[in-house]
Structure 1
Amino acid sequence: MNPVHILARKGEVADKVLVVGDPGRAELLSSLLDSPKLVNRNRGFLVYTGFYNNTEISIATHGIGGPSMAIVFEELHMLGGSTFVRLGTVGALRQDIRLGEYIIPTGASYNLGGLFFQYLGELTSVSATPDLELTSRLISHFESLSYKYHLGNVFSSDAFYAEDEHFVKKWSSRGNIGVEMECATLFFLSKLKGARSSAVLVVSDNLSTGGNWISKEDLEKSVLNGAKSILTVLSKLKQ
């Protein structure tokens, strides 16, 4: 089967891929690569391939939500991607987690049904956890730079505006420290397809303290620092 949304050719997508939700963010981060080449713009799923520390790496847009992530992951995997790190934003569910800090997920909760049911054909679950070695390397690099990060489970929600006054208590009481929309899909599909994946999430808001949002300038600073760290880890990772 050939990709129908990512119209790059085989060989134009690197085996190591940094994935982000926002095409504007993909465009921004492409400036960190040497000799970046835009290999897909179809459907707004911008994909750039270039070099970081002499290692070929792609930066790709996955859009918003699990179904969009699933389509992009599947097609990037068809084109040769085998190691994926998501750089995105997350709403914190714990009061001590501050805006601009990072969450490195150790797992992702999700609701049964939806795309998971379509892949599995039954109401069962597959552990949505990241690759241990890749995640360990990310943690070590963030530690070496003294970046403030938090380890824990996140909840991957399918509905951005479905939160109510019980949302924080419900999901934090189940061991989740943040909420976002794509990690469970990425980790789940990576297991099914034999790929490696992990994630680094910038805390953009904190639902447990009233939902204040990070400034655009502080968000961009944390995103750029996180991206450089991910690219460094990917460039040193053996396939």
Structure 2
Amino acid sequence: MNPVHILAKKGDIAERVIVVGDPGRTELLSTLLVSPKLVNKNRGFLIYTGEYEGTQISIATHGIGGPSSAVVFEELYMLGGRKFIRLGTAGALDPSIDLGDYIIPTGASYNPGGLFYQYSGELSSVSSTPDFFIVNLLVNAFASRGLKYYLGNVFSSDAFYAEDENFVRKWSGRGNIGVEMECATLFFLGKMRGAKVGAVLVVSDNLARGGDWITKEELEGRVISAAKLILSVLSKV
């Protein structure tokens, strides 16, 4: 099958890929690559490919939510992507986690049904966990730089505005320390396709504290710091 949303060709996409939701973030992170080349802009899924420390790496936009990220992941895989790390944001569900801290997910909870049901054909779940080797490299990289991070499960929500007063209690009570929208899909499809996947999330808000948000400037700085470490990790995978 040939991609119909990403209008790149084989050779345009590196084996190692950072995936992000925001096309603006894709443009920002492309500046960290040597000789970045825009290889797709169709549908707003900006993708740049360049080099970092002598290794070819792509930075790709997956949009918002599971269905969008599934389309992009599948098409990147068709085009040769095999190792993926998502760099995104998350809302903390633990009051002790500060804005700007990092979460390195060890798994992702999700609601059954939807795209997961369509892939699996049944309501029984597929374990949605990242590649251990990638997680281990990420932990070592963040620890070596003294960056504050948390290891734990996150909940991948399908609806950004569906929270109610019981949301934090419900999902933190099930062992989740953060909420975001795409990790479960990436980890789930990584299992199905045999790709190595992982994620790093910047805490942009804390729902357990009433929903204060990080500033745009601080978020950008934290994203850049994480991206440099992720690029280094991908060059070693």
**TM-score scaled to structure 2, two decimals?**
1.00
1:177 equivalent to 2:177? Answer yes
Q: Secondary structure at the match of 1:85?
A: strand
Residue type matched to 1:158 in 2?
A: D
Q: Distance in 1 between matches of 2:177 and 2:77?
A: 29
Q: 1:120 maps to what in 2?
A: 120
Q: 1:225 maps to what in 2?
A: 225
Q: 1:134 maps to what in 2?
A: 134
Residue type matched to 2:236 in 1?
A: K
In the TM superposition, what are the counterparts of 1:1-239 in structure 2 within 5 Å? 1-237=1-237
Q: Distance in 1 between matches of 2:79 and 2:236?
A: 22
CA RMSD of aligned residues (A): 0.4
Q: Secondary structure at the match of 1:18?
A: strand
Post-superposition CA distance 1:97-132 (Å, at most 9, x none):
000010000000000000000001111100000000
Unmatched tracts of structure 1, length 5 or more: none
Q: Secondary structure at the match of 1:4?
A: coil
- Cα deviation for residue 90 of structure 1 reads 0.1
Q: Distance in 2 between matches of 1:197 and 1:165?
A: 33
Q: Secondary structure at the match of 2:96?
A: coil
Post-superposition CA distance 1:173-221 (Å, at most 9, x none):
0000000000000000000001010000000000000000000010000
Q: How many residues align structurally?
A: 237
Post-superposition CA distance 1:22-71 (Å, at most 9, x none):
00000000000000000000000000000000000000000000000100
Q: Distance in 2 between matches of 1:223 and 1:214?
A: 12
Q: Distance in 1 between matches of 2:38 and 2:192?
A: 29
Q: Distance in 2 between matches of 1:135 and 1:3?
A: 29
Residue type matched to 2:19 in 1?
A: V
Q: Secondary structure at the match of 1:104?
A: strand
Q: Distance in 1 between matches of 2:234 and 2:193?
A: 19
Post-superposition CA distance 1:120-155 (Å, at most 9, x none):
111110000000001100000000000000000000
Q: Distance in 1 between matches of 2:172 and 2:8?
A: 40
- Cα deviation for residue 236 of structure 1 reads 1.7
Q: Distance in 1 between matches of 2:233 and 2:197?
A: 13
Q: Secondary structure at the match of 2:213?
A: coil
Residue type matched to 1:92 in 2?
A: A
Q: Distance in 1 between matches of 2:128 and 2:139?
A: 18
Q: Secondary structure at the match of 1:140?
A: helix
Q: Distance in 1 between matches of 2:52 and 2:222?
A: 19
Unmatched tracts of structure 2, length 5 or more: none
Q: Distance in 2 between matches of 1:2 and 1:42?
A: 15
Q: Secondary structure at the match of 1:236?
A: coil
